[in-house]
Structure 1
């Protein structure tokens, strides 16, 4: 009878152990070869621009006579017509006054008529109860577009002389918003490139091509409202209007490859 020879089972486990031991360094080396070294830089900038355009908002209004609420409706056709006629007359006078100081008619926008009731406290009765008065308010907004800021003092004087009931202020803008936005973005990119060059020189590395660019902050307008100061020359206050500047912020993130 043939004698059975013993098997050699240690070869397979030993080979398996060898494969497990060798595989991680090889995988790490392959990943390292596929992942380039890179330099990531973020940069933000602010651009301060003097505005060259302004929008002025004012309002005119008229009221119907106030009557006691218990006496019926305030929608008296005659009272409403008279109040509207007064309002339209004042609006026309205002437009003429603005044109006389050099403003073109197309730059003046008289908004739609707004009609709303208003409740007012009346006198107390003998029983101590306070009656409620009701009237109707008719209002017209007026919006003025100013492309020459030198006109602003004269326009404000004209509005005051015309007796506007409310002046809601002046908001400043830029005629070329896109150009200012592009300039802010370019400055942010230039700042990122400067930072990357400075870091590369300090660390003694050489930058390769740009491999990634992101806009981290879209350009945002931060307009300044009108500021006024009084100068009492010749014993008469003279208004001085300072528009300030419009601030545009922009931010970017740029990544460069580092040459080996």
Structure 2
């Protein structure tokens, strides 16, 4: 029996007509928008002689913090536990007269309990007031905010249109400089829409924040979203 033949398909890149030229352009489109969402972490850290003591006090204070969040207008769906932990607290080793420290196994002198929630603040003009309310309610840890856009697709689509417009203008420029004209688009690819990652914490609150001014000033600024497209054109005389 004769061996069967297997057809193979070889994928090729963009094909241009004889005498024509391939031009590849990478163009970037940018759009700036004010953020409409602030994400931050808030919580309580307590200490006690036993793990149960630290956790009991923590639960009482954290219940008050969550109640304060809801009273400030934060929806329940925008409050999510991000950390709940209990850890031992070790005493410092005894220092000897020669300046060295006594070699001994670590001694547990108490326990530390931490409970934190991740919060999405949708009313940015109330962010500072919400933080002050949390501190007054007993929160001694606040980290954030990370400013975001809740639904960025619309802005990213504008950036895509801007990138394509820029790519075509650049293609026309190159074609004219070479004495050619743009015939058609051969391919389009996108490197992916980009929005700024969450910003590093700019606020860290502890017990001493109870004397913070009312209300804490917060500047949201703008976020810039970027899309890069790669477009191949066929140029002809």
Alpha-carbon displacement from aligned partner over 1:201-230 (angstroms, at most 9, x marks no partner): 444422111112232x322222474779xx
Matching residue within 194, 204, 224 for 1:220: 194
Secondary structure at 1:239 match in 2:
coil
Q: Find the counterpart in structure 1 of residue 216 from structure 2.
A: 239
Distance (Å, rounded) in 1 between the aligned partners of 2:216 and 2:112? 32
Matched, 1:249 2:226: yes
Residues 29-72 of structure 1, C-alpha deviation per residue, up to 9 Å, x if partnerless? xxx9646323322212332221111111123122222xxxxxxx
User: 1:70 maps to what in 2?
Assistant: none
Assess, with a 3 A threshold, how the Cα gap between structure 1 residues 179 and 120 changes in structure 2: closer, same or farther: farther
Of stretches 236-245 and 192-201 in structure 1, the one that deviates more from structure 2 is 236-245
Q: Can you give the 5+ residue segments of structure 1 that lack an aligned partner in the other structure?
A: 1-31, 66-78, 229-235
Alignment RMSD (CA, Å): 2.9
Q: 1:224 touches 1:244 (CA, 8 Å); kept in 2?
A: no
Runs of 5+ consecutive residues of structure 2 not aligned to the other structure: 1-15, 204-212
Aligned residue in 2 for 1:62: 46
Any conservation in 2 of the 1:55–1:171 contact (CA below 8 Å)?
yes
- Shift of the 204–220 alpha-carbon distance from structure 1 to 2, 3 Å rule, reads same
Deviation (angstroms), 1:251: 1.4
Question: 1:102 Cα deviation (Å)?
Answer: 2.1
* Separation in 2, partners of 1:113, 1:106: 18
1:105 aligns with 2:76: yes
TM-score normalised by length of structure 2: 0.75
Structure with the largest fraction of helix: 1
Spell out, residue by residue over 1:170-190, the C-alpha distance to the aligned partner (whole angstroms, 9 max, x if none).
111111122233222222111
Partners of 1:57 and 1:117 lie apart in 2 by: 23
| Higher relative contact order structure (alpha carbons within 8 Å, sequence separation ≥ 6) | 2
Q: TM-score, normalised by structure 1?
A: 0.69
